[in-house]
Amino acid sequence: MRIFKFGGASVKDASGVKNVFDVLQKVGYEDVLLIVSAMGKTTNALEVVIKNYFDKSPDLNASIQEVKKYHYQILLDLFEDEDHEVFLDVDSHFADFEYFVRSNKSPNYNFVYDQIVSYGEIISTTILSHYMNFRGISSQWLDVRNYIKTDNTYRDANVDWDITQKNISKISKKKSLFVTQGFVGSDENGFTTTLGREGSDYTGAIFAYCLNAESVTIWKDVPGVMNADPRYFENATLLNQISYREAIELAFYGASVIHPKTLQPLQRKEIPLYVKSFVNPLLPGTSVSKGEDLEPKLPCFIVKKNQLLLSLSSIDFSFIMEENISEIFALLHQHKLKVSLIQNSAISFSVCVEDKFGTFKELVKILSKKFKVSYNENVSLYTVRHFDEKAMKTVEKSKTVLLRQMSRETLQVVTKE
């Protein structure tokens, strides 16, 4: 079986859905499991619904109707007959969504987030599966929550591999097209969980691992894995082949093409990963596979915007020792702050972090009781793998450098624009 993953940009409108059909016609769809994200910016729109819900905003209903209007317009553009059963199925999903919003009693933001935001994937895959059948490609819709089981760490759930393996192994071996949701799972009580933003790639890896898949293909609006994000760097170059090791390094440092957790399950079973263009599906794209000789021969640039540079120093000029660092990392973990860079000296300690869950200010209050705390907001972290002098000048040009760190292969620079 081959695993195909299509992201939100590929199904942002009716033309995108039609293009997925065209891609499958060109590359084949027998014995394929299709993993699909929410359409376009639906996840962002559902986050607005969640905000309005917790703020008890009068705009709550309007924000829900905006999500419905967007999807129904896509339905009307795809299906000639409004009596088609897809309308009933989508109506049913929205009814469940609105019922949850009316009846929920939990004050847990992360729990509510997962229950609401997952409807983006549920509805997008319902539309796509029906459209495939409508156009003559027989497809079977799967509710991923019946297959991927996790703990109850809402918004960043951990997979229970044993139960998940048993569930996924029950998928029929018949050579048909399956359509399911990325990013989503469920806990032991049946409540919806999510695997973290951009977790649809990870979903592909989970299914591939459990099914011993032939390959995983991530379909993007770029030709493949580039050595730099074309939005921020000129003359970005396609990397035709890279090793699992290099891809994991790039993902760890924040390369947006591949999700950091995606590669480990694939590497364990040596399942190749392809990153290809849904605009030009017959182009080879990038292949990620085993082999030390697949290292890029040119610098690879990664940039993470909207970071925070947190600097701590001892109040009494005493050394910051192992026990202090251990305590700091325990607090970072507790507040779910992702650390992208670390630098320390005898009496100071700096980390570049991403405040995904909005807990940074709370952490600063706690740390201020024991340390002198300073921080810079909205900084950018540039990482360059296989850097050279020219690459260093490129990332530092016309910027204020707040911190620089180098190893043999990797340069990291925190800058203020």
- Of the candidates 168, 183, 213, which is a domain's last residue? 213
Q: Can you give the CATH number for the domain in which 345 is found? A: 3.30.2130.10
Q: Can you give the CATH number for the domain in which 78 is found? A: 3.40.1160.10
**Co-location of 50 and 158 in the same domain:** yes
Q: Quote the tokens at residue 159.
A: 């997979």
The pLDDT, as a whole number, for residue 255 is: 76
CA–CA separation, 309 and 46 (whole Å): 29
**Strands 215-220 and 273-277: what pairing?**
parallel
The pLDDT, as a whole number, for residue 89 is: 98
Find the angle CA(139)-CA(222)-CA(203) to the nearest 5 degrees.
45
Residue 231 annotated as lining a ligand binding site:
yes
Q: What is the pTM of this model?
A: 0.85
Strands of the sheet containing 400-406, edge to edge, are 338-344, 348-354, 300-314, 371-385, 410-416, 400-406
Residue 228 maps to a domain: no
- Of the candidates 191, 213, 235, which is a domain's last residue? 213
- pLDDT, averaged per 10 consecutive residues of the chain (417 residues), comes to 96 98 97 97 97 98 98 96 95 98 97 98 98 97 98 96 96 86 97 89 96 96 88 88 87 76 92 96 93 76 94 82 87 92 86 92 94 94 93 91 92 92
- Of the candidates 159, 190, 213, which is a domain's last residue? 213
The pLDDT, as a whole number, for residue 52 is: 98
Q: Which domain holds residue 117?
A: 2-213
The pLDDT, as a whole number, for residue 292 is: 66
Residue 295 maps to a domain: no
Can you say whether the dihedral through the CA atoms of 241, 245, 249, 254 is positive or negative? positive
**Co-location of 19 and 164 in the same domain:** yes
**Co-location of 318 and 186 in the same domain:** no
The pLDDT, as a whole number, for residue 62 is: 98
The pLDDT, as a whole number, for residue 295 is: 64
The pLDDT, as a whole number, for residue 123 is: 98
**Co-location of 207 and 305 in the same domain:** no
The pLDDT, as a whole number, for residue 280 is: 96
Count: domains in the chain: 2
Residue 273 maps to a domain: no
